[in-house]
Amino acid sequence: MKLDDATFRRLRRLAPVLDDVLNAGEVEHADQAVDLASLAQSCSQLFDAYHDQHPGEIAQARLDALESQ
């Protein structure tokens, strides 16, 4: 699934926030928390769009994840 330009730019803008949090091992600032919420919302929207296009693949990926636990 190809990302539209706006989504791609939004994810590129938010990616460093996730990197900062992962490197620090903590959320250090309120703006990081807000950006993480925005990143989560964008990821959820992408998942929903992908799921709508490929429901069988999502179902199989979920089964595979359960089996690997």
User: Model confidence at 65, in pLDDT bands (50, 70, 90)?
Assistant: very high
CA gap 45, 7 in Å, rounded: 10
Model confidence, pTM: 0.83
Per-residue pLDDT of 6-29, as tens digits, reads 999 999 999 999 999 999 999 999
Give pLDDT, residue 2.
94
Q: Are 32 and 17 in contact (CB under 8 A)?
A: yes
Give pLDDT, residue 61.
96
Tokens read off for 21? 């949090």
Tokens read off for 35? 């950006």
Residues 6 or more apart whose CB falls under 8 angstroms from that of 10 comprise: 38, 42
Per-residue pLDDT, averaged over 45-66, amounts to: 96
